[in-house]
Amino acid sequence: MSDDRLALYGTDEPPAPHRRLRAGRLEADLVAGNLRAIRFAGHEVLRAIAYVVRDRDWGTYDLGIDAPTVAEDAAGFTVAWRAACTAPDGAWLAIEATIRGEASGRLVFEASARPEGDFETNRCGFCILHPIEGVAGRLARVVHTDGSVETARFPDLIEPWQPFKDIAAIRHEPAPGLAALCRMEGDVFEMEDQRAWSDASYKTYVRPLALPWPYRLPVGATMRQRIVLEIEGGRDVPAVAADGAGPVRLGLGPTTGERFPAFGLLVAPDEAGDILAAPDALRDLAPRHLLFHFDPTAGHGAAELARLAAVRALAPGAEAMLECVLPGIGDPGAELRESAALVAASGLDPSAVTVGPSVDRQSTPPGSAWPPCPPLDAVYAAARQAFPGLRLGGGMFSYFTELNRKRPPVGLLDYVTHATCPIVHAADDLSVMQSLEAIPFITRSTRAIIGRDKPYHLGPVTIGMRQNPYGSRTMPNPENRRIAMAAEDPRGRGLFAAAWLVGYAARLAGAGIEAWTGATLAGPRGLIARQGDDTRRHPLFHVAEGMAALSGLPRLALRSAAASRVDGVAAETGDGRVCLWLANLTPEPQRVLLPDLGSAETARLEAGAAGWQRGAAAGPDLTLGPYAVVRVEGALTASTP
């Protein structure tokens, strides 16, 4: 077991190894048998081509790929592998795949799958990921299965439904003078806008969601699919350097006119015991609000509210806000009056309540029938009567995906809210960090729905999944691994999550967020862990404490020359002072060139060190270890705006 690995990731499971494959100016990373970071002359063409198998809850099978056979020569590269996965009923699926890359830029990935026993799945086949930065809003030429051609654009604002259907091929231009044609064979493909789930990609997948799922692959039938990527005009396109070399220069700009949003914590009744046993943790963190979760459909009643009220008493300076799940079985007014009476008797005394029907926590995919649900205008009217004098919020307890598909009557609400989770579709380290690219698209798309002036709340924001809107459960994780849709993600205990939250805060700039719930204090996604009578504070605790301290401060513009490697936020703290929070978002050390802050002081969170390591900044040059976080405090000088 590697101590550094535990410090970084909260698990001794190593990151998935990757191998860089090259064929002339074409290159791709081979990761777990699939292709990532497909580039030509340094330009990202596709984010990934992957063969995936999903279970009935949209969980992803571990294919258990045998060691791939790889050959490289002057003409290009070839890869071959075999894999298998077993369903809960014992049926298993055998898969064979080959990959060929040519110096011309042609890339072929083909696979065949043969079930031994009828195999139940929600999806079996290729997923192709187009990047979002530099692609959103750009032209695409879509070839349909009947041979017709559609000229359209990759969506800029996030689409609630599939932007392209019935796809046989897509052509786009990753860079001026460079075009990429991706052909899909063997089934009917369609595209979804994965930014809605905070994935940093547009995903083209098989098969159409309008078809029934789960479905069964019949025993003995072989299914073959092939993806062909061809580069056009690549001979003369100038090469670009990969974003991974040289120092990252940071520039500090003037006050943006925006203040940092209020930072708070989510509290569920089953987490209250650990919080009450470690009262100093809550007091030290000093969140600006506590968001209490109350769900009658989970059996919550007076006893659960009493525990929440006891937590609330530990933080009298924090605003109390309530998530109230509406069962939606009977009359909404009667159900909400019953909940309101219990809340009033508990002494919780919230100032705001977010109300949402229980049924809306489960997603309604494209092509599916909407389940019975009370009309939202009736729900909100009943909530106003049941909770008089409280600010009323609505939206979704789940993600922007669901908010976008079922848009609330915004005029009836005092604020709108939704959550995010970066491991809905993929849980590898790179995908989770790349999810930060999608946050500005989500907030801008939300603003397009609710308007610029409507207060906007965000959260909970955690790597682990609170509840699975796409299946009957979150994925169990007894081996402490990186698993999509897992309630408990080990990286929440490591530096990785601390860096990720700093990056998340950076991507909220300009969104006008009023409040964000960026963590839970206890439980499987908590900032602390109880070990007997002792309480351990994870690195994420210190970042959450810092985000709470920034609440309400004027935000300064902070520009990173390579935000995918190092990003952060800056605040004006008064008396000509400034505070920067910076994070290395990569597993490699990064050299940072700071703006001129005079005689600055630093505090670091790094692997191998317990808590903050304090010192003076040795000039503008700073090196951050893997996923390290640094707080820099200095003065606004004549050379800074």
Do 472 and 503 belong to one domain? yes
**Residue 263 one-letter amino acid:** F
Q: Which domain holds residue 625?
A: 248-252+557-635
Residues of the chain whose pLDDT is less than 70? Answer: 1, 242-244, 617-618, 638-641
Do 578 and 614 belong to one domain? yes
Do 596 and 456 belong to one domain? no
Domain boundary residue, one of 524, 551, 578: 551
Residue 150 lies in a domain: yes
Could you tell me which of 424, 360, 346 has the C-alpha nearest to residue 394?
360
Helix (H) or strand (E) holding 448: helix 439-450
Indicate which CATH number applies to the domain containing 454.
3.20.20.80
Do 546 and 563 belong to one domain? no
Could you tell me which of 550, 571, 567, 591 has the C-alpha nearest to residue 636?
571
| Residue 422: Cβ within 10 Å count | 28
CA geometry: angle 500, 543, 535, nearest 5 deg: 115
Indicate which CATH number applies to the domain containing 604.
2.60.40.1180
What is the predicted pLDDT for the residue at 618?
60
Do 315 and 336 belong to one domain? yes
Domain boundary residue, one of 551, 583, 598: 551
Residue 9 lies in a domain: no
DSSP helix/strand/coil, 120: strand
Q: How far apart are CA 522 and CA 527, in angstroms?
A: 6
What is the predicted pLDDT for the residue at 608?
78
Residue 8 lies in a domain: no
Residue 541 lies in a domain: yes
Do 90 and 181 belong to one domain? yes
Indicate which CATH number applies to the domain containing 102.
2.70.98.10
Q: How far is CA 486 from CA 184, 271, 560, in A?
A: 31, 18, 32
Domain boundary residue, one of 551, 578, 599: 551
Do 98 and 164 belong to one domain? yes
What is the predicted pLDDT for the residue at 599?
83
> What size, in residues, is the chain?
641
Do 495 and 379 belong to one domain? yes
Do 397 and 520 belong to one domain? yes
DSSP helix/strand/coil, 343: helix
DSSP codes joined into one string, 99-158: EEEETTS-EEEEEEEEEES-EEESEEEEEEEE-STTTTT-EEEEEETTS-EEEEE--SSP
What is the predicted pLDDT for the residue at 1?
45
Asked whether the beta carbons of 602 and 596 are under 8 A apart, the reply is no
Do 579 and 528 belong to one domain? no
DSSP helix/strand/coil, 338: helix
Q: Total structural domains in the chain?
A: 3
Residue 183 lies in a domain: yes
Do 372 and 509 belong to one domain? yes
Do 309 and 379 belong to one domain? yes
Residue 4 lies in a domain: no
Residue 78 lies in a domain: yes
Residue 2 lies in a domain: no
